[in-house]
A = this chain, B = another copy of it.
Amino acid sequence: MAQNKKNEFSKSEIELADFARALSHPARVAIMKAVAEKNMCICGEIVEVLPLAQSTVSQHLKELLNAGLLSGTVDGTKSCYCINRKVFDKFIGSFNKFFLITQEN
């Protein structure tokens, strides 16, 4: 865009938008579901389940890590991902708060 105006909004608006953005692609929703189901997932297991190339899945995983929704640890050649409950719960809180605001009338 000509200019990026995103930081001219409030902190809470930006935070909520960032969280929403992290879940704005079905692949990332699917990843979150897969990880939640098994409590923890190896990268390869996720690649198997998604209709995307390994490099693309890696990219989506990176975004979920950056957003803080997942945390990752390395075990040998394998990468284990699990849901970052702390951050995720914080976001659920923001979301519910937002939902409440939109329901006050």
Contact = CB atoms under 8 A, between A and B. Distances in A.
A33 interface: yes
A27 B9 contact: yes
A52 B1 CA distance: 12
A17 B36 contact: no
Interface string A1-16: 0000110111001101
Contacts of A32: 98, 102
B17 A24 contact: yes
Interface in A81-105: 83, 88, 92, 95, 98-99, 101-105
Contacts of A76: none
A92 B99 contact: yes
Interface string A23-51: 11111111011001101000000000001
Interface in A60-76: none
A51 B5 contact: yes
Given A23-B16, A23-B17, A36 B5 contact: no
Contacts of A17: 23-26, 28-29
